[in-house]
Amino acid sequence: MISKDMTAQLNAQINRELYSAYFYLGLSAQADRANLKGAAAWFFAKHGEEMAHALKIYRYIIDQDAEVHFSDIAAPPASSEGVMHMFEQTLAHEREVTGAINALVDKALQEKDHATNVFLQWFITEQIEEEATVNDILGRLRLFGDKGQGLLMIDNELAGLARQMSQGLGTESAG
């Protein structure tokens, strides 16, 4: 059994994860329109991961005999200024989510809610990996450029990462 307050905070995190899915779907559509097929596939795979995160919390709330509560999901940004900006937005977004997960852990510790604390540890690790992956992609974009040959190479790499993610392989390292 978890507290009402903890339940409310976990429901808010379901909303954040669903927003994350929406956020990545928006970026996938933008990348597709820009003919960045690898980036589009990578963002699309991220959409799937975020949906899975939302469902993980959904299941946890139900397993704790608490009530799932849905709220409106905000629209994601409508456009980006190129691929570099897409990944900068992604890093900023993931840092915000990391902050939210850390706040949830703080809450669980404060309530001595060991079950929720243990449950959230998976998300802590996931956020470290996600931020590292996006930092790596941004670093390569800065190094090789976000145009021409450099962009083509990175877009191909993103296509490979997306394939691994959709096969459920190497999701730890692929973000």
The pattern of x and - marking residues 123 through 142 that bind ligand OFO according to CB under 6 A reads ---xx--x------------
- Buried b / exposed e across 151-166, counting CB within 10 Å, b at 16+? beebbebbbebbbebb
The stretches of the chain forming alpha helices (DSSP H) are: 4-33, 37-63, 83-110, 114-144, 148-166, 171-174
Q: How far, in Å, CA of 119 to CA of 105, rounded?
A: 9
113 binds ligand OFO (CB under 6 A): no
- CB closer to ligand OFO, 24 vs 141: 24
Judged by CB under 6 A, the residue of 7, 11, 20, 64 near ligand OFO is 20
Q: Which 27-56 positions form the footprint of ligand OFO (CB under 6 A)? A: 50, 53
Q: How many residues bind ligand OFO (CB under 6 A)?
A: 9
Q: How far, in Å, CA of 32 to CA of 41, rounded?
A: 8
18 binds ligand OFO (CB under 6 A): no
Let me know how long the chain is.
Answer: 175
Stretch that binds ligand OFO, among 57-65, 84-92, 122-130, 137-145 (CB under 6 A): 122-130
Residues that bind ligand OFO (CB under 6 A): 17, 20, 50, 53, 94, 97, 126-127, 130
